[in-house]
């Protein structure tokens, strides 16, 4: 199982670069670094800058789990505006999109919070999550999420999710 436990304050890597996640820390699970995950996100950001993200294909069945879907949170998320460092410090945001000291994120027209399935392309795992943040920055559509089973937070592109909305059958 992977854990996204890295500093997700996004900063430009160099003038004209898309973005990078600067301080990658060791994962709490197994001591592995999250470099491959960060590289996949950065590659997706670069692709999104040129082609835009999209969701398509058929929906697979929801992952089986003994953990029921919890109610959606009433706090602990960002909706309708870009996240700030204060939001991250308070635990309400997963990432901050900045360039040159200025916020560059714009809220996506996606309902937040909502249930979703995170589809990890590398491991082929499907993980139940709650979307807690949705922003566009430099053409990349980014979502912050919390895993239902563990509470682990992460950052991924919109294309890596199957959005389920605010109500899930068989909750």
Task: Give tens-digit pLDDT for 92-115.
Answer: 999 999 999 999 999 999 999 999
Share of the chain above pLDDT 70, in %: 60
For residue 49, is it within any domain? yes
For residue 116, is it within any domain? yes
pLDDT digits over 119-159, tens only?
999 999 999 999 999 999 999 999 999 999 999 999 999 99
pLDDT above 90 (res 23): no
Find out whether 45 and 51 touch, Cβ atoms under 8 Å: no
For residue 171, is it within any domain? no
Range of the domain at 85: 9-165
For residue 3, is it within any domain? no
Find out whether 115 and 168 touch, Cβ atoms under 8 Å: yes
Q: What is the pTM of this model?
A: 0.66
Find out whether 154 and 147 touch, Cβ atoms under 8 Å: yes
Number of domains in the chain: 1
- Alpha carbon 86 to its chain centroid, in Å, reads 18
Q: Residue 132's closest CA among 68, 88, 99?
A: 88
For residue 4, is it within any domain? no
Higher pLDDT, 80 or 57: 80
**Per-residue pLDDT, 169:** 77
List CB contacts of 9: < 8 A, sequence separation 6 or more: 21, 22, 85, 88, 95, 96, 98
Round to whole Å and give the CA distance between 1 and 132.
Answer: 21
Q: What is the dihedral of CA 3, 87, 158, 67, to 10 degrees?
A: 50
What are the beta bridge partners of residue 107? Answer: 135
Higher pLDDT, 67 or 72: 72
């Amino acid at each position: 199982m992977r854990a996204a436990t890295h500093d997700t304050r996004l900063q430009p890597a160099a003038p004209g670069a898309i973005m990078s996640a600067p301080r990658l820390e060791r994962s709490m699970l197994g001591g592995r670094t999250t470099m491959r995950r960060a590289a996949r996100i950065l590659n997706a950001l670069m692709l999104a800058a040129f082609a835009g993200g999209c969701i398509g294909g058929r929906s697979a069945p929801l992952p089986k789990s003994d953990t029921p879907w919890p109610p959606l949170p009433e706090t602990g998320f960002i909706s309708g505006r870009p996240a700030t460092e204060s939001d991250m410090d308070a635990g309400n945001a997963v990432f901050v999109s900045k360039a040159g000291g200025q916020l560059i994120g714009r809220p996506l027209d996606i309902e937040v919070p909502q249930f979703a399935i995170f589809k990890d392309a590398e491991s082929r795992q499907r993980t139940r999550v709650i979307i807690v943040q949705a922003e566009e920055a430099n053409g990349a559509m980014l979502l912050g999420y919390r895993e239902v089973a563990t509470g682990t937070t992460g950052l991924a592109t919109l294309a890596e999710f199957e959005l389920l909305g605010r109500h899930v059958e068989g909750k």
